[in-house]
Chain A
Amino acid sequence: MSSDSHVAEHGAEPAFRQHHFINAEQQFDTSKLGMWLFLATEILMFGGLFVGYGLMQSVYPEAWIAGHHHLDRIMGAINTVFLLCSSFTMVMAVHSASTNNKGKTIMNLLLTLGFAGGFLVIKYFEYAHKFHDGLLPGRFFSYHGGGPAEQAMFFGFYFCMTGLHGIHVLIGMILISWITLRTMKGEFSSAYYTPVDLVGLYWHLVDLIWIYLFPLLYLVN
């Protein structure tokens, strides 16, 4: 087998290399390409929502403006700051993983997790407020404060977009917890930290989507 001859040539065989890759570098490049492709599908999926949102905004600008007045800009802004900070700590986590600094990696991953949790807590309060006011999608819209009827559609988009993004945050938190555990077990080193790197890429995308969602939903004019 080639892997056997490969071993003979280089002496040591890294345990993380899967048998169908010729070497660790090929494995790393392939994983990274796979992740980028996946991120492309994510962007296209959210892209459909952005197109629908933009189109309907151009048809019902009044409803959109009325709808966005119900959103709490302060909470949205705090959440934006949270996610930006979490992206920074994520970058630091990847950096410390690549330089064999286990303690710092764990600390940065936990900080990222904290910011993500904070984001969801604030989102929870925002959602609770909307539920209370009856600012719900479609036929469940029961707000009595008046305004254009198409606000129901605006809130359909609002919940669809922030909901789908929220699910992504949740999945991100699960992934970050998973790589934190693996870091604690000492599975990563400067030679192999692909999972940390890939989760980092995913997390930046989650952040990036929010960067577009925030002005689109909260700051329309």
Chain B
Amino acid sequence: MADTLATPKAHGHVEHHDVDYLHDGSLLSWLTTVDHKKLGVMYLWSVLFMFFLGGVFALLVRLELFAPGKQFMDAETYNKVFTLHGAIMVFLFIIPSIPAALGNFVLPIMLGAKDVAFPRLNLASFWIYVVGALIAVTAMVTGGVDTGWTFYTPYSTTTDGSVALMTFAAFVLGFSSILTGVNFIATVHKLRAPGMGWFRMPLFIWGMYSTAIIQVLATPVLAITLLLLIMERTFGVGVFDPKLGGDPVLFQHFFWFYSHPAVYIMILPGMAIISEVVPTMSQKTFFGYKATAFSSVAIAIVSFVVWGHHMFTSGQSQLAGAIFSFLTFLVGIPSAIKVFNWITTMYKGSISLQAPMLYALMFLILFGIGGLTGLFLGAMSVDIHLHDTYFVVAHFHYVMMGSTAIAFLAGLHYWWPKMFGRMYNESAARVSAVLVFIGFNTTFLPQFLLGSRGMPRRYYNYLPEFQFLHQVSTVGSWILALGFVIMAGYLFASLRKKMDAPANPWHGRSLEWQIPSPPITHNFHEVPVITTEPYDYYRPFEPSVKGHH
């Protein structure tokens, strides 16, 4: 509803107490809404569309690599296609996916708030995202970009195409990300319901909070880096160009000072979702709540001091390399704390293997592989051999796709009934989940082998000995795509049904499960008062929300 910002009149104000937030479905009410739930849904459709677009580019890349030499596109087109795949997936899908879509919807409700701290800023953030996406699309159709999503200089300052426009798009998208981060931090600090102490917050909030800190502190550095890159292309300032006395490694430092923390902007929200799905679907009190909460903050802090591990082979000093390598291994500690706590939470729980939990289990396996192969790459001596090979490609796909995107799917299936008031077809969801799991591993496990045998990343052509593994990988991408097609099918089908979702389909304990599905416009009739610990499955359920029962 467009009027959610206005103060209700003291007297004689007609309040639609029991109208759900989807009730006013006019286009204008969606486009100008300041309701965090509607904004979350708009973000959701946007990122899903971008995921589709990035996925199509990925399929094209895999298809081209089915055999050595040219299949159906030339090398230049291939460079542009994989750059688009990367740039779209990173800047337009993964970074906004969990915080902006699911986080926007769930975070205020979990805190017992009626909205985020700055609803109008939230709307602005969404439109800035749309503008950024449009600029990116313009860059694609007016020449494209062939630099890879990292825009390394001096190649990016000398190549043709729309590099300046694409970096400007990333710059704009960064602002959207910053505004979401500012909003979430202020919301968590100031809008918690009475009784909701820091250690009564669901772990999802801790994850979102840590993510927001990184968004706010790291993104401005990317902004200035991209601005300098644009200056470099337009005026030839030479800061990053060795021909003009500049330092290309400086660009890498700047870029990774943002983009390594950004990797945790991607993974922390995924972990946050798993921390909700695992206790709910196991009906068990979270094991090690505080350790898990602090491990999110620890990852956020450590994320700022490990960027140099992207430059082991770029000519930084060996001492710096050794220090960055050591710091990189530190990330393993909070990550392992989380994994062990999730597993221990499941121990002796009453686990229900419905779609959200299937994805959570998938996350545990794939994040295990993705995280541990990260240690290979964090070790300097091994990295010299493996850097810029398919091993790296496989590693970060296990973390970005296998962990973050899979956790996003876990959250999507977990909160779908809450967001739209409808249950999806559970059997179809399980079939799709299995296909996604098989497809993903078939696509990316062979790439570890390819990389360790010396297949360089981003290459258009390859030696015949790599062909078999490339073909397995390409076939895997088709299985993966089939899984997603089925998923799109049953999710859309569910939207055509009458609303049938109960308020609490998974028997969760956090606040969003204590209000109807879908929620009413103002979330709560009365401000809830929190008197219980989160995940208190060891005792009978005591609702904190009054007025809905």
Q: A residues bordering B, Cβ < 8 Å?
A: 1-5, 7, 13, 15-22, 26, 29-31, 33-34, 37-38, 40-42, 44-49, 52, 55-56, 59-60, 136-140, 149-150, 152-153, 156-157, 160, 164
Q: B residues bordering A, Cβ < 8 Å?
A: 4-8, 10, 13, 15, 17, 113-115, 117-119, 121, 178, 181-183, 185-186, 189-191, 216-221, 223-225, 227-228, 231-232, 235-239, 244-247, 250, 254, 522, 524-527
Chain A residues within an 8 Å CB radius of B216: 37, 40-41
Do A160 and B231 touch (CB < 8 A)? yes
Tell me the nearest residue of chain B to A4, going by C-beta: B8
Do A138 and B235 touch (CB < 8 A)? yes
Which of B218, B220, B525: most chain A Cβ within 10 A? Answer: B220
Main secondary structure of the interface of A (DSSP, over half): helix
The docked-state distance in angstroms from the alpha carbon of A164 to that of B89 is: 30
Do B238 and A33 touch (CB < 8 A)? no
The docked-state distance in angstroms from the alpha carbon of A157 to that of B115 is: 42
Do A19 and B522 touch (CB < 8 A)? yes
The docked-state distance in angstroms from the alpha carbon of A2 to that of B115 is: 14
Cross-chain contact of B186 among A2, A22, A33, A156 (Cβ < 8 A): A33
The docked-state distance in angstroms from the alpha carbon of A49 to that of B218 is: 14
Chain B residues within an 8 Å CB radius of A55: 247, 250
Do A38 and B182 touch (CB < 8 A)? yes
> What would 14 A/B residue contacts be, using CB atoms closer than 8 Å?
A4-B8, A13-B10, A17-B7, A20-B191, A30-B186, A41-B182, A48-B223, A137-B236, A138-B235, A138-B236, A150-B244, A153-B237, A153-B246, A156-B235
> 7 closest pairs, A vs B, by CB?
A156-B237, A48-B224, A139-B236, A138-B236, A45-B220, A20-B114, A138-B235
Chain A residues within an 8 Å CB radius of B185: 33, 37
Do B223 and A19 touch (CB < 8 A)? no
The docked-state distance in angstroms from the alpha carbon of A15 to that of B10 is: 10
The docked-state distance in angstroms from the alpha carbon of A209 to that of B235 is: 24
The docked-state distance in angstroms from the alpha carbon of A19 to that of B228 is: 42
Give min CB distance, B413 to chain A, whole Å: 29
The docked-state distance in angstroms from the alpha carbon of A48 to that of B217 is: 12
Chain B residues within an 8 Å CB radius of A17: 7
Chain A residues within an 8 Å CB radius of B7: 3, 13, 15-19
Do A18 and B186 touch (CB < 8 A)? no
Which of B6, B117, B223: most chain A Cβ within 10 A? Answer: B117
The docked-state distance in angstroms from the alpha carbon of A156 to that of B244 is: 12
Given contacts A30-B191, A33-B189, A34-B186, contact A44 B220 (CB under 8 A): yes
The docked-state distance in angstroms from the alpha carbon of A156 to that of B236 is: 9
The docked-state distance in angstroms from the alpha carbon of A45 to that of B524 is: 39
Give min CB distance, B101 to chain A, whole Å: 20
Given contacts A7-B10, A156-B231, A156-B235, contact A22 B245 (CB under 8 A): no
Given contacts A1-B8, A33-B190, A160-B227, contact A41 B178 (CB under 8 A): yes
Give min CB distance, A133 to chain B, whole Å: 16
Tell me the nearest residue of chain B to A5, going by C-beta: B526
Do A2 and B178 touch (CB < 8 A)? no
Do B244 and A152 touch (CB < 8 A)? yes
Tell me the nearest residue of chain B to A16, going by C-beta: B7
Given contacts A20-B119, A160-B231, contact A152 B186 (CB under 8 A): no
Which of B186, B189, B223: most chain A Cβ within 10 A? Answer: B186
Chain B residues within an 8 Å CB radius of A157: 237, 239
Chain B residues within an 8 Å CB radius of A149: 245
Do B236 and A42 touch (CB < 8 A)? no
Do A56 and B239 touch (CB < 8 A)? yes
Give min CB distance, B386 to chain A, whole Å: 30
Chain A residues within an 8 Å CB radius of B224: 45-49
Cross-chain contact of B527 among A13, A22, A40 (Cβ < 8 A): A22
